[in-house]
């Protein structure tokens, strides 16, 4: 049990005596003591003063005395300042905690709690390669999945491949018109990149045709609809839903190119899924749900045959769920997928990792699922995240200005190589070891930079800044880990309690690593990996400061050496574990 929980448990017992009422541990707010005050943890007293019919300071003094008298193994001293009880954790507790836990590689993870969580992420369109926005999405989804798993949940990672619709038909039409039979093999272009090139080509041709129609007097809206290449794409979508053999054949062929490319990128960035759904397979289920909703009067049909839902009473507006020609819109397949996933996995919580431009979409989806009576609808949660931009500005796929994920990873590895060689500490590495090191540092820098920011915030990704070995970066933490392993290669810690007193810097490190389970719980509760990133950066900073101030292998006494070896081992374990929750590897040597 962590120190915060021990303090809450002990304080609840003593407050019950002071107030004459039962106070549950979870009702006691315990925070880290502010740096300007003496102490490690602080209890807010105002809520209990009224129950005890005493001033907050009086309650604090009595509670502090009781904590010292009855729980000396937890608290060694206290002070009360303006309604806050500041507690100093005893050296005895810290030393015992260290000796019991320093060698536990999985410290911080919780036993299975029987609850199920599904996390859907990535979910790309099959008309272009993954790009920078997909990287933030994948890293968030994968990390949230691992954080929930570490918190004891049964987690399923899923993706939905958006492999049908007008956007797919645009790439297909452009390839038919301009491809001349090109394949990934004949062009030596990765399959997803090749298909993406034709999506861009469609945009270029459409723009040209729109301009020609504008010159003939059409409005912009008319020109965009009447452009011949757009009409071809719309007809191809109708033909696809009618299962015309030649259209289905081309669709399958081009999608296979894309899936092959996606798989290569996923392997490289460390993304994996328990199951991938395909829009082409589930949109019909969605159309069945539309029919069911019409029978239940959840939806209504307009005179032109299109199907809608009126959500104005819920503070939203009217939303189309099926076009007048009977083709599905994006939310159609999402409705079907909600029920399908629930039947297959029965999750209490279903998390969708999707950009904040879809906030409205997911409000509508959840409401529709609830009105249709789909089991688990209340557990739908949209993990909304902000857009990622480059220093040069926003990216646009149709204009060919998107930076592909593969290119970003290549660039990160190249920057990693340059910075590592500048440090000049890898002369004894083999070529294969260097290649692996550059990949680990480059990808680690990329992931950490994208995950260190609260998901809700927009962010600018700066490749050079992300790989600074001295900043708030993944490489700084990786270097700290390698530093601990360098110490531990020379000498291993032994078991047992080491001494009866601690230096302030030693005690601070022990208290910092002890927080790790609470940090995981906070990250899961907020669905926010940046909680982990910020924690592990502060821990790495503390450990580096500790190594600057204190010797480990040449400590002043054998007792201190053993204590500091245990601390080094514990810090190494927590760094490795927490970076693992972010999907980041830590090299043994740097």
- Percent above pLDDT 90 for the chain: 87
Find the mean pLDDT for residues 79-83: 94
Helix H or strand E encompassing 94: helix 91-101
Is it the case that residue 245 has pLDDT exceeding 70?
yes
Say yes or no: 460 and 526 in one domain: yes
Q: Are strands 116-120 and 275-278 parallel, antiparallel or unpaired?
A: unpaired
Say yes or no: 250 and 179 in one domain: yes
Say yes or no: 313 and 190 in one domain: yes
Say yes or no: 75 and 165 in one domain: no
Is it the case that residue 264 has pLDDT exceeding 80?
yes
Closest CA to 353 of 520, 165, 159, 164: 159
Say yes or no: 394 and 411 in one domain: no
For the segment 523-534, what is each residue's pLDDT rounded down to a tens digit? 999 999 999 999
Is it the case that residue 398 has pLDDT exceeding 70?
no
Find the mean pLDDT for residues 557-563: 93
Angle between helices 431-451 and 530-549 (to 10 degrees): 120
Closest CA to 134 of 351, 409, 505, 438: 409
Say yes or no: 409 and 460 in one domain: yes
Say yes or no: 375 and 455 in one domain: no
Given this model, what pLDDT does residue 401 score? 54
Helix H or strand E encompassing 389: strand 388-389
383, 399, 415: which is the final residue of a domain?
399
Say yes or no: 506 and 358 in one domain: no
CA distance 173 to 78: 74
For the segment 427-442, what is each residue's pLDDT rounded down to a tens digit? 889 999 999 999 999 9
CATH of the domain at 226: 3.40.50.620
Q: What's the structural domain count of the chain? A: 3
Say yes or no: 127 and 45 in one domain: no
CA distance 323 to 237: 12
Find the mean pLDDT for residues 337-355: 96
CA distance 100 to 365: 48
| Cβ neighbours of 418 (radius 10 Å) | 12
CA distance 309 to 330: 14
Beginning with the edge strand found earlier in the chain, give each strand of the sheet holding 318-322 in spatial order. Answer: 300-301, 307-310, 318-322
Given this model, what pLDDT does residue 427 score? 83
Is it the case that residue 207 has pLDDT exceeding 80?
yes
368 lies in which domain range? 121-399
Q: What is the DSSP string of 325-383?
A: TS-B-HHHHHHHHHHHHHHHH--SEEEEEEEGGGHHHHHHHHHHHHHTT-TTGGGEEEE
Q: 79 in a domain, yes or no?
A: yes
Say yes or no: 394 and 432 in one domain: no
Please, is 289 exposed, middle or buried when counting C-beta atoms within 10 Å of its C-beta (0-12, 13-18, 19+)? buried
Asked whether 580 and 146 are in contact (CB, 8 A), the reply is yes
CATH of the domain at 567: 1.10.730.10
- Give the lowest-confidence range in 320-329, 345-354, 375-384: 320-329
CA dihedral for 15, 20, 26, 31, sign (positive or negative): negative
Q: 108 in a domain, yes or no?
A: no
Q: Tell me if the pTM is above 0.85.
A: yes
Under the banding of pLDDT at 50, 70 and 90, the label for residue 289 is very high
Q: Average pLDDT, whole number, for the chain?
A: 93
Helix, strand or coil, per DSSP, at residue 88: strand
Under the banding of pLDDT at 50, 70 and 90, the label for residue 330 is confident
399, 429, 453: which is the final residue of a domain?
399
341, 371, 399: which is the final residue of a domain?
399
Asked whether 127 and 195 are in contact (CB, 8 A), the reply is yes
Q: 570 in a domain, yes or no?
A: yes
- 253, two tokens: 């062929």
Q: Vertex 199, ends 195 and 201: CA angle to 5°?
A: 110
Under the banding of pLDDT at 50, 70 and 90, the label for residue 395 is very low
Say yes or no: 553 and 573 in one domain: yes
- 77, two tokens: 């001293």
Given this model, what pLDDT does residue 499 score? 67
Choice between 222 and 426, residue whose per-residue pLDDT is larger: 222
Q: 345 in a domain, yes or no?
A: yes
Given the structure tokens 């609830």, which residue do they identify? 370
Q: 114 in a domain, yes or no?
A: no
Please, is 141 exposed, middle or buried when counting C-beta atoms within 10 Å of its C-beta (0-12, 13-18, 19+)? buried
Say yes or no: 390 and 410 in one domain: no
Given this model, what pLDDT does residue 494 score? 86
């Amino acid at each position: 049990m962590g120190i915060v929980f021990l303090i809450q448990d002990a304080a609840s017992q003593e407050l019950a005596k002071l107030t004459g009422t039962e106070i549950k541990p979870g009702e006691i707010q315990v925070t880290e003591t502010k740096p300007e005050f003496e102490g490690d943890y602080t209890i807010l007293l105002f809520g209990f003063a009224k129950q005890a019919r005493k001033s907050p300071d009086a309650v604090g003094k009595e509670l502090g005395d009781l904590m010292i008298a009855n729980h000396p193994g937890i608290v060694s001293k206290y002070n009360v300042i303006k309604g806050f009880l500041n507690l100093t954790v005893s050296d005895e507790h810290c030393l015992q905690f260290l000796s019991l836990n320093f060698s536990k590689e999985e410290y911080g993870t919780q036993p299975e709690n029987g609850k199920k969580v599904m996390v859907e992420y990535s979910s790309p369109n099959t008309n272009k390669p993954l790009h920078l926005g997909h990287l933030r999405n994948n890293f968030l989804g994968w990390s949230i999945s691992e954080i929930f798993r570490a918190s004891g949940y049964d987690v399923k990672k899923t993706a939905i491949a958006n492999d049908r619709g007008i956007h797919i038909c645009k790439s297909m039409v452009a390839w038919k018109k301009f491809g001349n039979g090109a394949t990934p093999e004949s062009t030596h272009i990765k399959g997803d990149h090749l298909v993406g090139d034709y999506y861009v080509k469609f945009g270029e041709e459409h723009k040209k045709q729109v301009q020609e129609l504008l010159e003939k007097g059409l409005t912009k809206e008319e020109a965009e609809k009447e452009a011949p290449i757009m009409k071809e794409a719309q007809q191809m979508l109708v033909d696809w839903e009618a299962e015309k053999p030649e259209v289905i054949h081309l669709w399958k062929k081009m999608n296979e190119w894309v899936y092959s490319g996606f798989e290569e990128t996923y392997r490289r960035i460390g993304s994996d899924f328990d199951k991938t759904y395909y829009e082409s397979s589930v949109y019909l289920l969605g159309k069945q749900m539309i029919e069911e909703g019409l029978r239940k009067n959840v939806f209504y049909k307009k005179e032109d045959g299109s199907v809608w839902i009126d959500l104005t009473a819920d503070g939203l507006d009217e939303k189309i769920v099926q076009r007048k020609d009977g083709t599905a819109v994006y939310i159609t397949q999402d409705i079907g997928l909600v029920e399908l996933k629930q039947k297959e996995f029965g999750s209490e919580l279903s998390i969708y990792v999707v950009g904040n431009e879809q906030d409205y979409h997911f409000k509508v989806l959840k409401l529709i699922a609830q009105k249709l009576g789909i089991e688990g609808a209340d557990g739908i949660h949209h993990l909304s995240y902000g857009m990622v931009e480059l220093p040069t500005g926003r990216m646009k796929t149709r204009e060919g200005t998107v930076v592909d994920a593969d290119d970003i990873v290549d660039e990160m590895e190249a920057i990693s190589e340059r910075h590592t060689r500048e440090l000049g500490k890898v002369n004894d590495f083999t070529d294969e070891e260097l290649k692996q090191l550059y990949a680990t540092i480059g990808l680690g820098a990329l992931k950490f930079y994208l995950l260190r920011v609260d998901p809700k915030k927009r962010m600018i990704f700066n490749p050079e800044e992300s790989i600074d070995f001295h900043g708030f970066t993944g490489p700084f933490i990786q270097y700290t880990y390698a530093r601990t392993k360098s110490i531990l290669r020379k000498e291993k810690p032994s078991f047992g309690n080491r001494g009866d007193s601690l230096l302030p810097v030693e005690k601070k490190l022990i208290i910092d690593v002890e927080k790790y389970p609470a940090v995981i719980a906070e990250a899961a509760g907020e669905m926010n990996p940046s909680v982990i990133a910020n924690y592990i950066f502060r821990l790495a900073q503390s450990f580096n400061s500790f190594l600057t101030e204190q010797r480990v292998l040449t400590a002043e006494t054998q007792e201190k050496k053993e204590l500091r070896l245990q601390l080094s081992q514990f810090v190494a374990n927590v760094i490795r574990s927490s970076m693992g929750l972010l999907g980041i590897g830590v090299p043994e040597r740097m």
